[in-house]
Amino acid sequence: MDTVSPQPSSEISEWVSRAALRLEDKVIAWRRDIHQNPELSYHETRTAALAAKHLAALGYEVTTGVGETGVVGVLKGGKPGPVVALRADMDALPVEERVDLPFASKVKAPWHGQMTGVMHACGHDAHVAILMGVAEILAEYRAELTGHGEAPVPAQPKEGFEGRPSGAQAMIDQGALADPVPSAIFGLHVTSAQASGVIALRPGGLMASADRLRINVHGRQTHASMPWRGVDPVVTSAQIILALQTVITRQIESTATPAVLSISTIHGGVRSNILPTTSPWKARCASTTRRCAPTSSGASPRRRPPSADAGGATAEVDIGEGVPVTYNDPALTRWGTQSLGDGVGAERVTESRPVMGAEDFSLLANVVPGMFYFLGVTPPDEDPHRRPPTTRRCSISTSRR
């Protein structure tokens, strides 16, 4: 890219490495503190305050409350040139932590009307801690930075799109990438699928888009001993769920893009001896559809699902867009891959296969050229293929580091 500075020299790489080692203990302490005090989406007030205080102390111009709980810090460099943005997400998940660690989360919070455990089961605590460390290194090096140097976003609320809008979109809507306008944005995600210190990325589509699918199936209530006197929405829902898989196998060109359609929840009825009806009981299926190509002929499972009316039931179908494909700008990624290789060794930078998980970093990368990559966190004495995944695409290491 014309707007990207030349490759860093070995002298700069060595200086950054020394600075990173000097800050290692601080980054670990930040990560453990955030991990022990997780906050759900759009409730990340403590984490946001921690990031904002740190950035302000380093001399960043700090704006809080961006996208409700997000933080933007801008560091002005000493030389003219383009602006670079760095992003980290900070929300935790409604997951109970069951590991024996001194910094394990004991936090509980309401989620969909129920109290549940809260933990950083997807590594966002590490993301914030890493970027706080990077922000400190850049502040020390500000005389050599160009333009505004950096517009970090270390406190993006809610990475994802279920329920409320994604944190990335909320921050975009409130001008996080508008003043200054970055020439490029970078993000990372820790993963247990790779050994510690191994970096994986690819140009073009890295992660899938994800759309929301909801189906409400309406039947007619009857006693379970006399199903012929009503219309069973539960059996109809089961038939729809099975038939939906033919959308993937028969309606999407398999050579164009990988695609997944998963039904993750189904609800219906309240008693074992009553078949539910349209009101107030109904069977509801919820799913996400995922694909790894931004546009592809025949690759969008947006056709209406198989009809429910064959058995006398009716269905309401709601398909809502979630997040687009996480697309790595090819020119920026070529530069970034070389730069990462210079910093950590080319042998530790690998090409990733397309990943069916989704990331709302994709929304930021739709505004300015972006590069996203995976950072391995599995300890070297453990097999990444045997590391347990979490409720999402990532896992968190139970290493005491």
Output the pLDDT for position 257. 78
- DSSP type of residue 295: S
257-288 residue pLDDT tens: 788 888 888 888 888 888 887 533 345 555 56
Select the more confidently predicted residue: 37 or 268: 37
Q: Are 184 and 151 in contact (CB under 8 A)?
A: no
What token pair was written down for 118? 């809260």
pLDDT band at 297 (very low <50, low <70, confident <90, very high): very low
Output the pLDDT for position 400. 34
Partnered with residue 66 across adjacent β-strands are 70
Output the pLDDT for position 148. 58
Output the pLDDT for position 342. 86
Output the pLDDT for position 1. 37
Model's pTM, two decimal places? 0.85
164-213 residue pLDDT tens: 778 899 999 999 999 889 999 999 999 998 999 999 999 999 998 888 88
User: What end-to-end distance do the CA atoms of the chain give, in Å?
Assistant: 37
203-246 residue pLDDT tens: 999 998 888 888 888 889 999 999 999 998 888 888 888 888 88
Calpha distance 173→170 (Å, rounded):
5
> Which of 47-56, 313-322, 358-367 is predicted least confidently?
313-322
Name 206's Cβ contacts closer than 8 Å, sequence gap at least 6: 325, 326, 327, 328, 352, 354, 355, 372
143-165 residue pLDDT tens: 877 665 556 665 677 666 666 77
Backbone angle region of 103, left / alpha / beta, with phi > 0 → left and psi within -120 to 50 → alpha: alpha
Output the pLDDT for position 269. 83
